[in-house]
Amino acid sequence: MRKQDNFFCQYFNFRLKGKIHLALIRNMALVMLLNTVCRILFYTFNTGFYPNMTFGHFCNLLLGGMRFDILGLVYVNILYIFFMIIPFKFRYNSVYQKVLKYLFVMTNSIALAANCIDIIYFRFTLRRTTFAVFREFENENNMIKLFAGFFIQYWYIVLIFILLIVIMVLFYGKVQKPEFRKSAWFYYVLNTLYLCIGAGLFVAAARGDFSPFNRPITLSNAAEYTKEPIEMPLVQSTPTAIIRTLSHLSLKEYRFFNGEELDRIYTPVKDYQPEGEFKYKNVVIFILESFSAEYMKAYNKHIPDYKSLYTPFLDSLMQHSRYFLYSYANGRKSIDAMPSVLASIPSIEGPYVLSPYSGNMINGIAGLLRKIGYRTAFFHGAPNGSMGFSAVANLAGFEKYYGMTEFNNPEFFDRTNGIYDEEFFQYYAEEMNKMTEPFCTALFSLSSHTPFTLPDRYKDVFTGTPTPFLNSLRYSDYSLKRFFETASKMPWFKNTLFVLSADHGGTYSLFDEYKTSVGVYAAPIIFYAPGDSTLIWGENCLAQQIDIMPSVLSYLNYNGSFVAFGNNLFEKCDDYFVVNFPNMLQLLWDDYMIYFDGEKIISLFKFKEDKMLSNNLLNTSPEIERIMELKAKAFLQQYTTRLIENRLTIEK
């Protein structure tokens, strides 16, 4: 071998005799480095979008980006990793290793190409490319010309891509066949162990999180590291964005009406111009895990001999509050609740926070109130990062997040979900007592979530219900009572608007009417303000979670414009409607409910009297159907076009 060849092998090929696992790790690290370079280039070519970036914050974004790079890396290299760690000696065959090198270079070149293209394409979309791009261009017949034009116009990106590939090829760590000195059985046992370890690491990496408490990361998790939504693409990677949206395709865009006609039927744009001065009241929002309206007396007076057993405190509080007899959640999962309650964005066709549009600019209630001097904070007693709540809270404008880490007392950890409600609710009250008024805070409870663990001291107190869930519900209601006892003694209490709702319907249904496609969404919406007699009555009209934000802002005499898909419940609500999505759009208006499949109404029910939805009245009320079809079409068009076009805030 010539001297220069030996030098090249030593410093570029890095031949690793027999150390195949070390070679695998080194090659994965090489890809991670190249992805980080892409992220730095992404920022460098788009600095105009980030005028307030600091070096320290950018470093934090790079660290967050490593989570997304690892996730993308394991999916892109799934075949390469598998064929490198299978416990057979033929792995060291020179032809076998050459094929794996080609596989490695080919798959990672595609991933790097996606990152490089987004360096430019980002400025047109302000977000990472998702799998929806394939649907977006599926009907294009001139794709070759489009790509050719892109590559010619941005030739320097092509050169950068080629340079990255050259670096990847040159620094790829090759493996040479070793001399096998150990017995065959020892070799196979040891390498099978390596295979098992590798499989475990792969699963953890593919989830994007090693913690069993947390959900697999989604695109919205990028908000955990950002100060504003436009920074999220700096944390995300394009391969991960495409992979994570494979099963969450883009929304179908509806074009039923022209702009003026659409806005006359329904518009989410609110323009508040109150006559009175702004009321600098504190706003405290409770999102209560699984607190279905089914468990509360006020919502069930129509049921003979209904007994209020599970939420005695809320039942008593509702006697001094404004609530709505027909109130509903906009989703069936906890992750649906936060954007609905805190930003007036429902989940249609799938959870908003898992959609390709979760990085859109939004105007959450906390963000709007922060602009006029409010302090804001979000509380959730689970391990920090659980359910992606910290990311969603950040998007909604909350400046601080308080979780299990901040609570910092493992004595009250329930060994599964997080901190018991009683202790965390007390902590919530105490932390608000330290805040400067006015403030806007929200808390998401957790003790009434499976496995429904109770503190030892209460296991013999909250008993006797048909299921452990209802025992835990009673405990959470008691914890809420203890919170109000503590808060009522604090100076900020009387200057506060409290809002209480559930994340979704209950886990355990006692009555069949709560098992229907309407009943499963039944959830309380309660407004309580100490000393405000205008908020003491039950309202016989429709309400939903997405009505909370515009209603709170109206109550405060907020002056300004914003986007909210819900309505102001403090105005006349005769014409309001409720939307859910149990596999297709479900719309409630007046006494009626329809299923709308995107083209036509397929069912019509009088849901208030026909609680089991057993009598389909389709084609019996033409005028009702006409009105409801217009509303369904207008809502779908506003929702889909605004998400797709990133118009969830007021354009300035």
Q: What's the confidence (pLDDT) of residue 1?
A: 45
pLDDT at 384: 87
The predicted model gives 126-151 an average pLDDT of 65
301-307 contacts at long range (C-beta below 8 A, 24 or more positions apart): 303/511
For residues 345 and 354, give the distance between their C-alpha atoms in angstroms, rounded to a whole number.
13
Each residue of 258-310: pLDDT tens digit? Answer: 989 999 999 999 999 999 999 999 999 999 999 999 999 999 999 988 887 89
Give me 395's structure tokens. 């998007």
Residue given tokens 């914050």 in the structure block: 57
**What whole-number distance in Å separates Cα of residue 28 and Cα of residue 574?**
60
Q: Is the pLDDT at 108 greater than 50, yes or no?
A: yes
Helix (H) and strand (E) counts in the chain: 21, 16
Q: Given 3-state DSSP classes, what are the helix, strand and coil percentages for the chain, each rounded to the nearest 5?
A: 50, 15, 40
**Per-residue confidence band for 586, with pLDDT thresholds at 50, 70 and 90:** very high
Weakest-pLDDT range from 246-255, 297-306, 379-388: 246-255
- Quickly state the pLDDT bin for 580 (edges 50, 70, 90): very high
**DSSP SS3 for 447:** coil
Q: Quick one: tokens of 46?
A: 């788009």
State which H helix or E strand residue 133 sits in.
Answer: helix 132-136
Q: How far is CA 166 from the centre of its chain?
A: 38
- Across 552-558, average pLDDT: 97
Q: What is the pLDDT of residue 224?
A: 80
As a three-state string, the secondary structure of 529-593 is: CCCCHHHCEEEEEEEEHHHHHHHHHHHCCCCEEEECCCCCCCCCCCCCEEEECCCCEEEEECCEE
Region 53-71: what's the mean pLDDT? Answer: 90
382 SS3 class? coil
Is the N-terminal amide bond of 239 cis, ω within 30° of 0?
A: no
The pLDDT assigned to 499 comes to 98
Percent of the chain's residues with pLDDT above 70: 87
pLDDT score recorded for residue 350 = 75
Q: Which pLDDT does position 188 carry in this prediction?
A: 65
Instruction: Report the pLDDT value the prediction gives residue 208, as an integer from 0 to 100.
Output: 58
Residue 200 has pLDDT above 90, yes or no: no
What does the mean pLDDT of the chain come to? 87
Contacts of residue 370, defined as CB under 8 A and 6 or more positions apart, other chains included, come to 376, 397, 399, 440
Top CATH class, 272-572: alpha beta
Residue 145 has pLDDT above 70, yes or no: no
Reported confidence tier of residue 143, pLDDT bands at 50, 70, 90: low
CATH 3.40.720.10 residue window(s) in the chain: 272-572
pLDDT of 577 higher than 50 = yes
State yes or no: pLDDT of 209 exceeds 70: no
Q: Is the pLDDT of residue 522 over 80?
A: yes
Query: Which segment of 157-166, 234-243, 339-348, 496-505 scores lowest on mean pLDDT?
Result: 234-243
Provide, rounded to the nearest whole percent, the portion of the chain with pLDDT above 90: 57
Q: Indicate if the alpha-carbon torsion angle 332, 544, 500, 225 is positive or negative.
A: positive
